[in-house]
Amino acid sequence: MQVPLNQLSAQLGKGLRSLYTVYGDEPLLVEEAVDAIRASARANGYTERSSFTVAGAHFDWSAVLAAGGSLSLFADKQIIEVRIPSGKPGKDGSTALQQLVSSSVDNDSTLTIVVLPRLDKATKTGAWFTALDSHGITLQVDSIERAALPAWIAQRLQQQKQHVKAGEEGQRTLAFFADRVEGNLLAAHQEIQKLGLLYPAGELGFEQVEQAVLNVARYDVFKLSDAVLSGQVLRTERMLNGLQAEGEAEVLVHWALAEDIRAMKRVKDALRNGRPMPMALRENRVWGNKERHFERVLPRINDATVARLLHSAHAVDGIVKGLKVPEWPANGWQALHRLALQTCKACSSR
């Protein structure tokens, strides 16, 4: 049964279930959810814990099944944690997880927690995940999007009885904080805790935050796509500068930009051939945030613009591989900036 992450505390308050599945690609929020389940379990007498990490195709699932099917030697109740970093348990793992689900039903002595990364739609329709979802509590942990990050920071400050100033100055402080920790929620959490140590409860001014918060941004080439498709020019430039400073490979940045442009072309072609938008997006594996961006952008962007972007992507492909292209910068990063900003402006809502 799917339960929103923000309702986990309420669900735990109603009583523990014997099976929990937590999945998502934000480590901080995943671990906080698992910690909350563990804390509730300890309060209910689950004093022993066994943890298994599934690594590789030849993982021995028999140990997991033995642990889940046996009583603890030292405690009346135990916690079994199964972590699958790849999100792919394989054929043996699929069978083992379904057996584990069967043994967890009405088993008050064992609490099972399965931890997974973000899953695609195909994986979530698999027999093993369907079994987990049908017989336990399933928590999908979504990333905090850039637009929601200032509010998330404000909420976390409030939890330690701190807050920024009201009005425009406070919003500027939160925006500054969000810019400094772009793409790194764990770093944001650490910086918030540091503010709690440095300053007493109450109001925080911009200068206090500015002096305390380090530049801990982790620029992610895949989050660059979100900035470009959102039409956010300044954020796109900042992320490109950050990627360059961190030594990211030019070819990888180009691939991320070009793949979005090629996907636009494929979906536009499908729409022209009579495919409904949802079907065209699904067939071209456009999901999540990118799906929402495409739904907004594609009805407004014309074929000539997509063709120009494809031509530019082809030119930059040569530049980042050492070729010279007329009317384009010879420097790979300068060429990437131009391509990204061309795409960004095409996707802008203005």
User: Exposure pattern of 294-316 as b/e (b: 16+ CB <10 Å)?
Assistant: beebbeebeeebbeebeebbebb
Percentage of the chain beyond pLDDT 90 is 53
Among 90-94, 148-152, 183-187, 339-343, the range scoring the smallest mean pLDDT is 183-187
Among 54-63, 79-88, 195-204, the range scoring the smallest mean pLDDT is 54-63
- Give dist(CA 206, CA 174) in Å, integer: 9
Give residue 71's pLDDT band: very low, low, confident or very high (50, 70, 90): low
The pLDDT, as a whole number, for residue 21 is 95
Residue 4, pLDDT > 80, answer: yes
Q: Please state, rounded to an integer, the average pLDDT across all residues of the chain.
A: 88
Half-sphere exposure of 116 (CA within 13 A, CB side): 21
Other C-beta atoms closer than 10 Å to the C-beta of 122 total: 8
Give residue 216's pLDDT band: very low, low, confident or very high (50, 70, 90): low
The pLDDT, as a whole number, for residue 271 is 92
- Give dist(CA 33, CA 178) in Å, integer: 23
The pLDDT, as a whole number, for residue 109 is 84
Q: Per-residue pLDDT tens for 33-60?
A: 999 999 999 999 888 888 899 887 778 8
Give residue 138's pLDDT band: very low, low, confident or very high (50, 70, 90): very high
Give residue 69's pLDDT band: very low, low, confident or very high (50, 70, 90): low
Q: pTM score, two decimals?
A: 0.66
- Give dist(CA 15, CA 51) in Å, integer: 23
Among 156-160, 282-286, 302-306, the range scoring the smallest mean pLDDT is 282-286
Residue 145, pLDDT > 90, answer: no
Output the 3-class SS for 287-306.
CHHHHHHHHHHCCCCCHHHH
Residue 70, pLDDT > 70, answer: no
Q: In 142-197, which ranges are E strands?
A: 162-164
191-195: list long-range contacts, CB under 8 Å, 24+ apart.
191/216, 192/153, 192/156, 192/157, 192/160, 193/160, 195/157, 195/160, 195/162
- Give dist(CA 228, CA 45) in Å, integer: 50
Which range has the top average pLDDT, 57-61, 86-90, 113-117, 120-124?
A: 113-117
Q: Per-residue pLDDT tens for 307-345?
A: 999 999 999 999 999 999 999 999 999 999 999 999 999
The pLDDT, as a whole number, for residue 247 is 86
The CATH class, in words, for 221-347 is mainly alpha
Q: Largest Cα–Cα distance of the chain, in whole Å?
A: 74
Give residue 63's pLDDT band: very low, low, confident or very high (50, 70, 90): confident
Residue 237, pLDDT > 90, answer: yes
The CATH class, in words, for 5-141 is alpha beta
The pLDDT, as a whole number, for residue 306 is 94
Q: Break the chain into its structural domains and give their ranges.
A: 5-141, 146-212, 221-347
Q: What is the mean pLDDT of residues 253-258?
A: 92
Other C-beta atoms closer than 10 Å to the C-beta of 27 total: 12
What tokens does 166 get? 């009201």
Q: What is the mean pLDDT of residues 194-204?
A: 91
Residue 350, pLDDT > 60, answer: no
Residue 150, pLDDT > 60, answer: yes
The CATH class, in words, for 146-212 is mainly alpha
Distance of CA 271 to the CA centre of its chain: 29
The larger pLDDT score, comparing residue 181 to residue 165, is at 165
Give residue 23's pLDDT band: very low, low, confident or very high (50, 70, 90): very high
Q: What is the mean pLDDT of residues 240-265?
A: 91
The pLDDT, as a whole number, for residue 108 is 78
What tokens does 80 get? 């079994």
The pLDDT, as a whole number, for residue 262 is 94
- Give dist(CA 216, CA 339) in Å, integer: 27
The pLDDT, as a whole number, for residue 133 is 92
Distance spanning both ends of the chain, measured CA to CA: 41
